Amino acid sequence: MKDLFKKNRVYIAICFIIIIATVLVTSLLVNIMERKTETKYSNQNRVEVTENDTDPKKWGINWPKQYDSYKRTVQATQTKFGGHGGSESLPAEKIERDPWLKRMFLGYAFSIDYRDRRGHAYMLTDQENTKRLTKPQSGSCLHCHATVMPLYKKLGNGDAMKGMEVSHKSSYQELNKKLHEMGHANPVSCVDCHEPGTMKLRVTRPGFIKGITTLASSNTPLPHLPSIERWRKGTKNNPYDPNTDASQTEMRSFVCGQCHVEYYCGGKLPLVFPWGNGLKVEEVETFFNELKFPDGTDFFDYTHAQTTAKLLKAQHPEFELWSQGIHAKSGVACADCHMPYMRDGATKVSDHWVRSPLLNINRACQTCHHFSEDEIKARVENIQEKNYKLMQRAAQALMDLIDAIEQAKIAGATDEQLKTALAMHRKAQWRLDFIAAENSMGFHAPQEAARILGEAVDFARQGQLLAVQWKSR
């Protein structure tokens, strides 16, 4: 009996030690996790921020690390194809570097002034100063260039979506003046991507919310957006809502998709993200081909000054092209490459200095790709060089098409006789522009970019042939 007790005492002691050890380890883990979430999301300095705090300075008191990196977007950056050329004060003119751009935009404000993009800090002032504003532009422009949500709410009597839907009726200048008067003339700010109380990632832009909702309602396959595929299999009682349905990984791209997308933003219709048939170049083209102006006429962006073709203008479809690439399919988000984590003692901070990842290969790529920096850079530049060369070929083909239509017109061809050639102008240029206006020089989806440029060459040459042979038609 005594022996048994002695034996048990050892067991009891061991059990006791295990229990204590478990409690200690668990509490340590809980403590670490708590501290992590604390530093990640809580406002340590407890300055209350609200929906109306569009000035990032106040948020910076609570989250100084993120604010410090955010402020660095004022710095000029340049890589072989990214960032900007020109001077510190004014980025280089794309239309002078590539004169074919200027020619394809003849008849449209982009042939007056179209420059390299630069850091987020400049988005509002660059918009205010562009010579494109010498032509009438609509209030819709502000959607992606300022902390515009309080203004939208005011215009829509509390409903931001309604506000956005009337904002195209005001001129740019009129709405920009209101924005300044309300004290919300800032570039994209914390409140645009974060919920004030919780710092939860969110999307605010009505254009994106409407666009992604219609995209979800279409039946185009979206393997890189699993939350949409899941929603489609559900009851569909409520429309797809990115802020409640999307995963954190998806949100890390959606916040950028609020602006880095193709859109229509003139004065005739509310701002629209053309995603009703899908995100691919020809799906967006179909959307525009089916779109009508309020007076029932066919949609187009402008009439080309030399050929009179009714054209579409593409703008920065980063979200769309990324969607077709291997990274999107592998769950790699915009923020993984453009806002990689930085170590800050025991915690990780997302780098809010949004810029080219090639300036930051170590944190942006080497977390997943275990090659040397030089090797990674060489692979990217190899993709970009090929894309660049193919793009120049497509541009040459388009210039030849425009020449041929001009010649045919001089020789007496009518628009009716040139109808198919003009349709080819629209198709070829739409594809070339889609890749030229996209800002990764093909990197976001190399094979897709090559496919699109290949089609551009083909349509341009078909159109050229038709224009040369117009008499036989």
Give me 464's structure tokens.
């050229």
Whichever of 364 and 428 has its CB closer to ligand HEC, that residue is 364
Looking at the DSSP bridge assignments, the partners of residue 418 are none
Q: Which of residues 385-414 bind ligand HEC (CB under 6 A)?
A: none
* 252 CB burial (10 A radius; 0-12, 13-18, 19+): buried
Residue 119's nearest CA partner among 60, 179, 75 is: 75
Q: Are 179 and 54 in contact (CB under 8 A)?
A: no
Using the 8-state DSSP alphabet, how is residue 246 labeled? S
Q: How many CB atoms lie within 10 A of CB 392?
A: 13
Q: Which of residues 27-46 bind ligand HEC (CB under 6 A)?
A: 40-41
* Binding span for ligand HEC by CB under 6 A among 162-170, 245-253, 422-430, 465-473: 245-253
Whichever of 91 and 463 has its CB closer to ligand HEC, that residue is 91
Whichever of 51 and 415 has its CB closer to ligand HEC, that residue is 51
Q: Which of residues 279-318 bind ligand HEC (CB under 6 A)?
A: 316, 318
Residue 438's nearest CA partner among 94, 26, 49, 41 is: 94
Q: Which of residues 202-231 bind ligand HEC (CB under 6 A)?
A: none
Using the 8-state DSSP alphabet, how is residue 114 labeled? -
Among 130, 217, 220, 286, binds ligand HEC (CB under 6 A): 130
Residue 115's nearest CA partner among 85, 140, 141 is: 85
- Which residue's C-beta sits nearest to ligand HEC? 82
CA distance 297 to 116: 34
CB of 109 to ligand HEC, least distance (A): 8
* Binding span for ligand HEC by CB under 6 A among 13-21, 151-159, 236-244, 337-345: 337-345
Cα–chain center distance at 321: 9
Q: Total residues contacting ligand HEC (rule CB under 6 A)?
A: 91
Residue 339's nearest CA partner among 411, 464, 420, 251 is: 251
Q: Is 236 in the site for ligand HEC (CB under 6 A)?
A: no
CA distance 185 to 55: 9
Window 50-89: contact mask with ligand HEC (x via CB under 6 A): ------x--xx--x--xx--x------x-x-xxxx-----
CB of 343 to ligand HEC, least distance (A): 11
Q: Is 436 in the site for ligand HEC (CB under 6 A)?
A: no
Q: How many CB atoms lie within 10 A of CB 225?
A: 25
314: three-class secondary structure by DSSP: coil
Q: Is 259 in the site for ligand HEC (CB under 6 A)?
A: yes
Among 302, 443, 459, 470, binds ligand HEC (CB under 6 A): 443
Q: Which of residues 186-205 bind ligand HEC (CB under 6 A)?
A: 188-190, 192-194, 199, 201
Whichever of 190 and 453 has its CB closer to ligand HEC, that residue is 190
* H-run or E-run covering 154: helix 149-155
CA distance 20 to 192: 47
Whichever of 74 and 468 has its CB closer to ligand HEC, that residue is 74
CB of 181 to ligand HEC, least distance (A): 20
Whichever of 49 and 216 has its CB closer to ligand HEC, that residue is 49
